[in-house]
Structure 1
Amino acid sequence: MKEKSICQNTLLAQPKHFLQHFLVLILSLSSTLPFAHSFDYGDALSKSLLYFEAQRSGHLPYNQRVTWRHHSGLTDGLEQGVDLVGGYYDAGDNVKFGLPMAYTITLLSWGVIEFRDEIAAVDGELRHALEAIKWGTDYFIKAHTHPHVLWAQVGDGYTDHLCWQRPEDMTTSRRAYKLDEENPGTEVAAETAAAMAAASIVFRGTNPQYAQLLLHHAEQLFEFGDKYRGKYDSSIKEVKGYYSSVSGYRDELLWAALWLYKATHNITYFDYAILNAESFGGTTWAIREFSWDVKFAGLQTLAATLPTEGRDKEQKQILQQYRSKAEHYLCANLNKNNFTNAKRTPGGLLYTRRWNNMQYVSNAALLLTVYSNHLRSTDQTLDCQTDSVGPTKILSFVKSQVDYILGSNPMGLSYLVGYGSAYPMRVHHRGASTTSYKDDKVFVGCMQGYHTWFGRHDPNPNVLVGALVGGPDKNDEFRDKRVNFAQTEACTYNTAPLVGIFAKLHELEKGSSSNTIASASLPLLSFI
């Protein structure tokens, strides 16, 4: 008998097209009230931070809140004589991939840098955000064993994907892969440098010694990645098919340079981003996606927020070129370019491709929210080809995307697992889909996991709270099946950008509900 999706248990998921069209109409009308009450963003923030605890590898701390997880990967690096215990699993498997892990920490740090006060306003969550970042940066410190050596991966995707085992039961290869002068990997070195530089800003006020240590590693890693240039998937061939670098490493070099400049105010890094702006594609690539691989839109947005005061004519011109490309991306997402706009589903969700589309949605939402803050603080508007858009209208669109994620969609389903009353129950995730190791320590073998747990029709025994799954297809349809990993697998870099966004929307929601939004210079119906 064909598995019945949880989505089919809701009225709006029935094949009655008029209901779907009616809901889409209601959603579009409600989005014109940008801060009208809708969702509990504070609760969504709390749940999003829980997800990172579920993804932890290593020896779990005493205050671990996701209690169905236990210690794992305790011998990582042992064969190579290096301590690589810790870090994060990227998704539903048990491999530690360095590039997406570093990118996750960069995005988490950016959210805290921009929205620290808003996160702190949700009781206890700033501490949890800092812990999530530090779990990653502690691992990067271990992995950077020499100025020109970075351990970039633990585990092998091929053997790992042949097994369905809890991380606590792993019998697959835990081989570690390193980058060095003979085996360069500029993307991972530069992204890890960006992550540690951004995190150093986060910890500067509360843990200055740790922040300085992070900066020390970040500068060494940037020098390593820049001096010994090479694509990391040429040095670590085992990563091909999982996290191949399609965009190359030039975007990561510019991205890292800008983060190092923000962290150090060392003009050398600013000059690097200016001198290499054109040759590395920073001011020439007009992009419509931002992801763990393609960083151009992110670095362009970062450059666009830098002050121009005190710059010479050429520097101002290049910063303006960065800004132009950043605004092309932002306007494309807002559907305000003449031709090159981002696609959307009938229900209004940004749509890039069928494989884990939600990563592009949440990543875009972060850049839009950050730039909205920048425009408000500098009293500017975003001038697109078809319209000028103010910060309030940008946040209104961000809210529409977040509300879609949380349940305002044709399926009536929250794609943030554990939030609301209806969400994916069969997430493609080894640990969540198998009985908790703490409840049942009986060893689960490689193929036994597939036969006993992967193929079950029942919901997962453990809820992967805070995970943002791949999401619906181009027609807003979603099949809640473990085998449907394009839609039901979640990744750390899906949820990471939401932390800051949830905090920002929570602040606006509080202001709206208490009639204080005017005092925050955010008039409820202003689309300026």
Structure 2
Amino acid sequence: MASSSVFSSALLIIFLLFTSLLLCNAFPAAPHRRHVRFATHNYRDALTKSILFYEGQRSGKLPSNQRINWRRDSGLSDGSAMHVDLVGGYYDAGDNVKFGFPMAFTTTMLSWSVVEFGGLMKGELQNAREAIRWATDYLLKATAQPDTIYVQVGDATKDHACWERPEDMDTPRSVFKIDRNNPGSEVAAETAAAFAAASLVFRRVDPTYAKLLLRRAIRVFEFADKYRGSYSNCLRRVVCPYYCSVSGYQDELLWGAAWLHRATRNPTYLRYIQVNGQTLGADETDNTFGWDNKHAGARILLSKAFLVQKVPSLHDYKGHADNYICSLIPGAPFSSAQYTPGGLLFKMNDSNSQYVTSTSFLLLTYAKYLSSAHKVVNCAGSVVTPSRLRVIAKKQVDYLLGDNPLKMSFMVGYGPRYPQRIHHRGSSLPSISAHPAKIQCKSGFSVMKSPSPNPNILVGAVVGGADQRDSFPDQRSDYEQSEPATYINAPLVGALAYLAHSFGQL
């Protein structure tokens, strides 16, 4: 009897183990939960902070729910020099000028982040929408007059001669515009792209506003295309060397048409892309994606129409997108990207982080498109899967968040160690509440040159970052490495939303 009982017990154990294995295979762990233990960062926290940063860059009358409370109202008479209302919008970086070109690109990329990954953002989605609307409300004012766009508020040269809080600024709030006689196709087409992309963000939650944005996108794009020319020509003394367009305006026309095609599904824009794509440089091999050059972004965006929406005439854009991806893959036959010893994608000394965040976003977005179509990238016989693209993107984001030789986060307020002396006037000078008296134009330079940490934490600001040797001096005077910018954060918002969701943090 005893041996029979032992035998029965052994059979029961084997049966239970076999059943357990069957159940594990039948019900695998949810993909976004499976790798939680390998998450190296709190991506949800970083996402929250990356959006919060925009509240520190606001110009105009601040709302009652303003969370970065060391800021106050500023620029309340902007536009009055030209008898127009240009109050609102964003300061682009650490100065007090409103540059329309990078502001429009920032808006496009914030919108694209929400279009692709907004469904993963949970509680941060509304904050992201508000960040976008702060920009689009301003851009609507700047484009209120037909065939005219107000592209800058503030004299950059005179502004940069001062180190003062936006609440104190007394430099000229000069207003500059483009029109039929002084065209600026790159700014106009980028603004059209911003409106079209943002219309997709608000389509379900505020259809009236979305329709307004789309109508304006169509009108502004027509202006950009009909009156062709670079704003760097007619406004050279104003916009150069700050936001000179080196790549020309052709890439923005292609980019703007791509966004209008996505937002409207109007065959007019598809025909425009088909007819003008090559002359607008669709096949160019410049693999830099940022506020000036949109070619790589346009390739990825248009590849979706082929991969997911099955538009056969856009087949070439899959090839263009693949070429861009292959240029980034370390060890691939046509790889041209440079990486620091610590693994950071390195494009240039000045604000390199913007290329890190924009590239990471494009890698994750293209991985999404490829996965939907069950496709891969072929780099001269070397197969690159969507998973590989996600790994590369994650490594870049992780570097920015602290996985680097310095063990320093390049996002202010994230992690135990981050930049303390960022090149930012409002952050570095005492706040209005701490120092109600006006700080004069030149007086602030004593603070700018001081080694003391900034008194006001610009939470979520991502600075220019490490150099090609992975070093970072954390000096306020070093604007190339220590200055944050709205267009650095914008694509990072989407990347962080994806990573936070993937690791079960959202």
Relative to the length of structure 1, the TM-score reads 0.87
Alignment match of 1:387 (pick from 382, 386, 401) = 382
The equivalent of 2:408 in structure 1 is 413
Q: Alpha-carbon deviations, 1:143-195, whole Å to 9, x = none?
A: 11212011000001100110000000001110010111111110111000000
CA RMSD of aligned residues (A): 1.6
Please state how far the C-alpha of 1:320 moved relative to its aligned partner.
2.6
> What is the alpha-carbon distance in structure 1 between the residues aligned to residue 412 and residue 294 of structure 2?
27
- 340 and 333 in structure 1: CA distance in 2 versus 1, 3 angstrom threshold: closer
DSSP-derived class of the 1:136 partner: helix
> What is the alpha-carbon distance in structure 1 between the residues aligned to residue 55 and residue 353 of structure 2?
20
Please state how far the C-alpha of 1:337 moved relative to its aligned partner.
3.5
> What is the alpha-carbon distance in structure 2 between the residues aligned to residue 234 and residue 200 of structure 1?
31
Q: Alpha-carbon deviations, 1:251-281, whole Å to 9, x = none?
A: 0001000101111111101111111111111
Q: Alpha-carbon deviations, 1:303-348, whole Å to 9, x = none?
A: 111136997xxx735x232222221111222225424420000011
The equivalent of 2:67 in structure 1 is 65
Amino acid at match of 1:428: H
The equivalent of 1:508 in structure 2 is 502
The equivalent of 2:262 in structure 1 is 262
- 367 and 310 in structure 1: CA distance in 2 versus 1, 3 angstrom threshold: closer
The equivalent of 2:454 in structure 1 is 460
> What is the alpha-carbon distance in structure 2 between the residues aligned to residue 229 and residue 402 of structure 1?
37
The equivalent of 1:149 in structure 2 is 148
Map 1:300-379; keep pairs closer than 5 Å.
300-307=299-306, 316=312, 319-379=314-374
Contact 1:336 1:387 in 2 (8 A): no
The equivalent of 1:285 in structure 2 is 284
Please state how far the C-alpha of 1:232 moved relative to its aligned partner.
0.8
The equivalent of 1:15 in structure 2 is none
Alignment match of 1:450 (pick from 445, 461, 469) = 445
Contact 1:328 1:337 in 2 (8 A): no
DSSP-derived class of the 2:176 partner: strand
DSSP-derived class of the 2:167 partner: helix
The equivalent of 2:120 in structure 1 is 118
> What is the alpha-carbon distance in structure 2 between the residues aligned to residue 294 and residue 72 of structure 1?
31
The equivalent of 2:95 in structure 1 is 93
Matched, 1:212 2:211: yes
The equivalent of 2:104 in structure 1 is 102
DSSP-derived class of the 2:470 partner: coil
The equivalent of 1:17 in structure 2 is none
Contact 2:304 2:369 in 1 (8 A): yes
Contact 2:326 2:335 in 1 (8 A): no
> What is the alpha-carbon distance in structure 1 between the residues aligned to residue 291 and residue 36 of structure 2?
29
Greater Cα shift, 385-394 or 478-487: 385-394
Contact 1:247 1:294 in 2 (8 A): yes
Contact 2:422 2:482 in 1 (8 A): yes
> What is the alpha-carbon distance in structure 2 between the residues aligned to residue 117 and residue 310 of structure 1?
19
Aligned length: 471
- 476 and 303 in structure 1: CA distance in 2 versus 1, 3 angstrom threshold: same
Amino acid at match of 2:40: S
Contact 2:413 2:457 in 1 (8 A): yes
Q: Alpha-carbon deviations, 1:479-501, whole Å to 9, x = none?
A: 10001111000110001101111
The equivalent of 1:518 in structure 2 is none
Contact 2:306 2:312 in 1 (8 A): no
The equivalent of 2:271 in structure 1 is 271
The equivalent of 2:426 in structure 1 is 431
Alignment match of 1:498 (pick from 492, 495, 498) = 492
> What is the alpha-carbon distance in structure 2 between the residues aligned to residue 115 and residue 310 of structure 1?
18
Amino acid at match of 2:257: A
Please state how far the C-alpha of 1:439 moved relative to its aligned partner.
2.5
The equivalent of 2:13 in structure 1 is none
> What is the alpha-carbon distance in structure 2 between the residues aligned to residue 349 and residue 53 of structure 1?
28
Matched, 1:248 2:244: no
> What is the alpha-carbon distance in structure 1 between the residues aligned to residue 262 and residue 494 of structure 2?
19
Amino acid at match of 2:351: N
The equivalent of 1:53 in structure 2 is 55
> What is the alpha-carbon distance in structure 1 between the residues aligned to residue 268 and residue 58 of structure 2?
36
Amino acid at match of 2:182: N
- 310 and 194 in structure 1: CA distance in 2 versus 1, 3 angstrom threshold: closer
Alignment match of 2:466 (pick from 457, 472, 475) = 472
Once the two structures are aligned, what percentage of the paired residues are identical?
A: 48
Please state how far the C-alpha of 1:79 moved relative to its aligned partner.
1.2
DSSP-derived class of the 1:179 partner: strand
Contact 2:163 2:448 in 1 (8 A): yes
> What is the alpha-carbon distance in structure 2 between the residues aligned to residue 310 and residue 437 of structure 1?
52
> What is the alpha-carbon distance in structure 2 between the residues aligned to residue 336 and residue 172 of structure 1?
51
The equivalent of 1:296 in structure 2 is 295
Give unpaired runs (5+ residues) of structure 2.
1-34
The equivalent of 2:28 in structure 1 is none
DSSP-derived class of the 2:442 partner: helix
Contact 2:347 2:355 in 1 (8 A): yes
Matched, 1:221 2:220: yes
- 507 and 79 in structure 1: CA distance in 2 versus 1, 3 angstrom threshold: same
Amino acid at match of 2:501: E
The equivalent of 2:391 in structure 1 is 396
The equivalent of 1:524 in structure 2 is none
Larger Rg: 2
- 480 and 44 in structure 1: CA distance in 2 versus 1, 3 angstrom threshold: same
> What is the alpha-carbon distance in structure 2 between the residues aligned to residue 352 and residue 490 of structure 1?
17
Give unpaired runs (5+ residues) of structure 1.
1-32, 514-528
> What is the alpha-carbon distance in structure 2 between the residues aligned to residue 329 and residue 484 of structure 1?
31
Amino acid at match of 1:187: E
Q: Alpha-carbon deviations, 1:26-79, whole Å to 9, x = none?
A: xxxxxxx99822100000000001100000000000000000100000010011
DSSP-derived class of the 2:413 partner: coil
DSSP-derived class of the 1:167 partner: coil
Amino acid at match of 2:312: K
Please state how far the C-alpha of 1:89 moved relative to its aligned partner.
0.4
The equivalent of 1:239 in structure 2 is 239
Relative to the length of structure 2, the TM-score reads 0.91
Contact 1:34 1:399 in 2 (8 A): no
Amino acid at match of 1:482: R
DSSP-derived class of the 2:443 partner: helix
> What is the alpha-carbon distance in structure 2 between the residues aligned to residue 466 and residue 250 of structure 1?
33
Please state how far the C-alpha of 1:142 moved relative to its aligned partner.
0.6
Contact 1:111 1:501 in 2 (8 A): yes
> What is the alpha-carbon distance in structure 1 between the residues aligned to residue 307 and residue 327 of structure 2?
25
Contact 1:336 1:384 in 2 (8 A): no
